[in-house]
Structure 1
Amino acid sequence: MLDKLVGLAMLVAASAVFIYYSIWTLAMPFVDADHPLHSFFPPREWAIRIPVILILLGSAVLGSFLSIVMIRSNRKKAAKAKSAAAKKKA
């Protein structure tokens, strides 16, 4: 039950972010600059900066994770090879 609730909350959050970002990037350029609706949105240059920052952070985290996994895997292989060579020698 909890997993369905968490999934629903994530779906609602993702939908809200998508709708907000879509309105910000697609509709707001056609609204007059002095309209009060502009107070709900940050400046337009952040519509590009935020996704770029998120992509850079995500790729850095993913690259770090993959490099850690590869390093640990190589250490395990080296340890196995070393123990196999020691058993063969003895």
Structure 2
Amino acid sequence: QLDRLVGLTMLIAATTIFLYYTIWTLFMPFVDQPHFSHAFFPPRVWAIRIPVILIILFTTVIGSFLSVVMIRSNRRKALKAKK
């Protein structure tokens, strides 16, 4: 029961983020600047900065995790080889 709730929550969050970003990047350039809907979105330059920052962050985290795993694996192999 809890896993369905978590899955549904994640699905709703992902859909909301996708729709917000899609509206922001694809539809808002065609809306006049003084329109009130522009108040709900940050400046357009952030439409590129946010994904780039997230890609760099996630790549760094994944690379660090893989590096730690590989270093630990090589240490274990070296200890076994010494014995």
TM-score by shorter chain over 0.5: yes
Spell out, residue by residue over 1:11-46, the C-alpha distance to the aligned partner (whole angstroms, 9 max, x if none).
000000000000000000000001000000000000
Structure 1 residue 66 corresponds to structure 2 residue 66: yes
CA–CA distance in structure 2, aligned partners of residues 7 and 75 of structure 1: 38
The aligned counterpart of 2:36 is 36
**Stretches of 4+ aligned residues off by more than 3 angstroms:** none
Aligned length: 83
Structure ID, larger Rg: 1
TM-score w.r.t. structure 2 length?
A: 0.99
Paired amino acid for 2:17:
V
Paired amino acid for 1:18:
F
Paired amino acid for 2:28:
M
Paired amino acid for 2:47:
A
Gap runs ≥5 in structure 1: 84-90
Over the aligned positions, Cα root-mean-square deviation in angstroms equals: 0.4
TM-score w.r.t. structure 1 length?
A: 0.91
The aligned counterpart of 2:76 is 76
Shift of 1:8: 0.5
